[in-house]
Amino acid sequence: MKINPETIFDVLKELKISAEEANKAITKMERLEKAANAEKPKEPKPKKQFLVLLYTDAKGEIGSDPVASVVQMPEEANHNTLLEMIGNAAEEFHSTRKGKKHRVKTVGEALEGVGSKFFKTYGVVVKTKTPVMAVRTDNTLPASKE
């Protein structure tokens, strides 16, 4: 809890503590606060990798207008476990009151309907809640028009 030093000084003055003693107390509190803040080492944020989930039909084929969602997961995690992580988050969601009312059946529904707090436990961050269009490419640039 942060308290303004002037407020502390006023309280100490009300308690009939001399101004010299009050200044000593405030100075000591400021030193203690600085020492406490210096002791807290900041943990580095874990690096995350971007993944694109390309939606296919039931046969595993990509339609004429492919759509995808973008997610992030920890870099050290195996990308093949992403669907399992999404499924686990959906199961946790289903155990809530809202999840019992609005059950999700597909990965797309899970990414749209399940809250970020369920994905957070698995280190997954959904970057696009709604699917985005994917463009096919053969990885060559078109010839310039000269």
Secondary structure of 103-116 as H, E, C letters: CCCCHHHHHHHCCH
The pLDDT of residue 45 is 83
Higher pLDDT, 68 or 24: 68
Q: Which pLDDT tens digit goes with each residue over 39-97? A: 777 788 889 999 999 998 888 888 888 999 999 999 999 999 999 999 999 999 999 99
Higher pLDDT, 127 or 57: 127
21: pLDDT strictly greater than 90:
no
- Check whether residue 61 and residue 125 sit in a common domain: yes
Is the residue at 14 inside a domain? yes
Is the residue at 110 inside a domain? yes
Dist CA 10 CA 77 (whole Å): 54
Beta-strand ranges (E) seen in the chain are 48-54, 67-74, 125-126, 132-133
Pairing of strands 48-54, 67-74: antiparallel
Is the residue at 17 inside a domain? yes
Q: How many CA within 13 A on the CB side of residue 40? A: 6
| Domain containing residue 10 | 5-39
